[in-house]
Every structure is written in structure tokens, then in C-alpha cells.
Structure 1
């Protein structure tokens, strides 16, 4: 089910229209109204090196009875690596995919680096009740050491490491003032299993 294609006239609407206060898509071409499941999307975000990929694997067992866990790098392919408009094609594709997953009745947990300014402005944002963000962060010295220890094929040089450390500090300093606010989880000393437990607890609390 492609939520951007009208079930009645078949026209593709790249800027979906949702009826106010109702989970119903309204086709601007023919007026057809299509009910859909408008669930919350949960994003486990943060800089590289804070443990997102490791946690994503551990969340599968912890959340498989209630959510669908997705790793953002899955779609980091040549056709979507266009930096135009802050990787608009990549981010929009993820929102459309997550919205389609939601039609099965289970919310998605998306693990990958994304912040509110990158998702909240997109036309596909209306397909979700709300997007919740939890950022994994770390002390800068520990984060830099983790990135330096990565295998050579991942091409982490000192300039790239410094940029990531700066991003980590930006997230830590500005999370509370973003719209919506971003919750923080420090992974500096926590074993991956403990971090996964804390993320699973955040998911359960967020979903109520």
C-alpha cells in the first residue's frame, strides 16, 4: 500500500494531505478519502560511534512483539545518497517506508542519525501522529577513541572524527531546545545490553 498514490484515481501525491484531526488521507485531485493508521514513529538517533547499530540488533529480541526495528543504513545506497536539500530523497524515502510499515498496526523504531530539523519539515511528516527522538551520546574523548578503533575500510580520519565529536556536543547542548525536544541517553560507560534495555524502556514508555 503506497500512501502517496490515491486508491481511487491513481494519481501520486508527493505532498500528502491529511484531514485535520482524523487519520484520513484526502486526494487533492479527485477528493477521495482513504483512512489509514497514523502511528507515532520512534527514532533512535545520535552521532556515529554512540552504539546505534549495536543497539538496533539487540532491540530486535526486546521489541519484536510490539514494534518493527529498522536500521537506517539499509537504504544508504547510491540512488539515495544525493546531498541535495539535505538528503531529501533519503529521508523522505524512510518516512514513506515507515508509514507503510505502520499500516500493519505496529509502530516502527528507526535507528540512524536524524534530528528534528531533518524530518519535521518534510511533506511526509503528516503521515505520523508524532515523531519521538532519543539520541545516544557519549563523552567526546570516548567517542573519538571508538571511531579511531574502527576498521580502516570505514575511512575514519581525524577531520571526520572531529566533525562527529562536534556534532555530538551540538546534540548534547541543544537537545532540550529542539522541536520536538530530543531525549538523551549517555552510552559512555554503559554496556550495549544495558543501553538496549534503556532504549526498550523508552520505547515502552513512549508508546504508553
Structure 2
């Protein structure tokens, strides 16, 4: 038996953590996790394996899981130990303008301009790949969108695929 898994992806500064906080308060029938919360010493794949173990446990209890993390890099959910318990994998991408990311990551601290520029380029690649995927992965520009609107779009997307058929 397999279960659907919902993954909201995007690069740093795209709004994943902010949206996850909003989604937690809205979607009581789902367990919502910010994947960066259990990474130890940059061991992303071990963390990802743990998230899928947790998601599988949730699914056995009849609950859906929404993971917010940068997928497929550094997290690759489709090669995790428990990935065979999930099908389909549903992806939704968040992104923002270069200027919005510069403002957000500068305010967060700990980022160099070169690091932000690299992240902006990687975000463009993620959005390009999302749009080229078959079927295309929804991609939402969060640059000037209030978090409540971002959460509305994510909630609508999840509920359009839930309950599983």
C-alpha cells in the first residue's frame, strides 16, 4: 500500500518556512514539517530518510504529510529508505524575485552576496525544471504575495489531491 506525499520546495528565501507556519495552523488533518529542522552537520540525506519514516508513520494513522524543504537538492525524497511507501509524490515550488531574495536573506543574516546570487541562479533552474516536468509542477512567485495568500494556494493545491483515490 502506498500513500501520497506532498512536498513544497524552493530555495532559501522563497518563503517555505514562513508558509509552513501558516499551513500548520490551517490544515489540522495534515502533519506539516520544515525539513531543515532536524539536519545535523549537513547530513541532509539522513534527515530526509527520517522525514519519510515520520511521514510513513503518519500515513499509517490516516494522516497526510506536507514536507517543506529544498527538494531534490539537498533533500532527495525519492531515494530515501521509505520512498517505496509513497506514490504519488506531489510537488509545489515556491520562488521569488532576485530582489526579494536579497532582502529576505540579508535580513536573515549569515548570507554573503555571492551566496545569495548563487541561490538566485539555482532558484531559476528549479523553476525552469518545474515548468518542464511532466506534468508541470505548480510554481508560485512569493515576491510580493502575503503569506496568507501563499498558504491559500498551497492549501488549495493539497486539497485538490486529497483524499487519495
Q: Does 1:67 align with 2:22?
A: no
Which structure's CA Rg is the greater one? 1
Quick check: 2:35–2:48 contact (8 Å CA) kept in 1? Answer: no
Residue 181 of structure 1 deviates from its aligned partner by: 4.2
- Identify which of 99, 110, 113 aligns with 1:141: 99
Report the aligned-residue RMSD. Answer: 2.0
State the SS of the aligned residue for 1:190: coil
- Kindly report which structure 2 residues correspond to 1:18-97, keeping only aligned pairs within 5 A, or say none: 23=1, 38-64=2-28, 66-78=29-41, 81-82=42-43, 87-97=44-54
Kindly indicate which of the two structures has a greater share of residues assigned to helix.
2
| Greater relative contact order, per chain length (Cα 8 Å cut-off, separation 6+) | 2
Q: TM-score, normalised by structure 1?
A: 0.71
Query: Unpaired segments of 5 or more residues in structure 1?
Result: 1-22, 24-37
Partner in structure 2 of residue 193 of structure 1: 148
State the SS of the aligned residue for 1:182: coil
Q: TM-score, normalised by structure 2?
A: 0.88
